[in-house]
Amino acid sequence: MAAGRKQRRVKITPRTAGTFGCLVVAVLGYGAVTIIDQGHSAIGRQWLPAVLIGGGTPIGLLALIGALLAVGRRRPRASRALYPVGMGLMGALALLVWAGIRLAGDSGPVTSAWQVALAAAVVPLAVLALAIIPLLTWRRRPPGGAGAGPGKRVIAVTISARRDGWSVSWTGLGRMPGTQRAPTLTSAVDAANLALAAMDPLRQ
């Protein structure tokens, strides 16, 4: 009989993937900073406006996207009208990221203010990514794996008054209950407690 072959599987942990992602973002950020530095002597007086406009554009887009999410959360009826606007802003941000990444990986000479502006747009996004990636991938997990014990979840319950009664909405990671309606505040609180008990039977 032929001897069986043992197959070795390489397991990529979230921490490893996050570390690799941070290295890639750091390299792109360094390339963007290098382009900005080279452009200081190449474009003269246009350098400062290009840096300010380029660096402020992604920050403004992120602020607008956050504002739309907040408005849509507080006013569910307006979320449908705001959805195309939010998708357009996210598309513009994605296009900006794509152009900035291509520029940061290019080793050609800096000859225009557009190059400096795109490079400046990469810097705040790189800083944000370097802050978010470790938070998402470097968290410690309980010993024995994810199924070793009950996991902790953070769930925010919002009870707000409506014309026809009270609304119970949910915010958190993972699967959330749907929005519920109740005629009184007491019944809304009871509905929230019942939904939480259904999600976690061991909840006291």
pTM assigned to the model: 0.55
pLDDT level of residue 173 (50, 70, 90 thresholds): low
What is the pLDDT averaged over residues 137-164?
A: 63
Q: So what's the pLDDT on residue 141? A: 55
* Tokens found for residue 86: 């939010």
Q: What are phi and psi of 162, to 5 degrees?
A: -125, 170
| Residue-averaged pLDDT of the chain | 77
What is the pLDDT averaged over residues 51-67?
A: 88
Alpha helices in the chain (DSSP H): 14-42, 47-74, 76-104, 113-137, 185-199
pLDDT level of residue 147 (50, 70, 90 thresholds): very low
Q: 172 near 153, Cβ under 8 Å? A: yes
What is the pLDDT averaged over residues 10-26?
A: 79
* Angle at 21 (CA atoms; ends 16, 23), nearest 5 degrees: 100
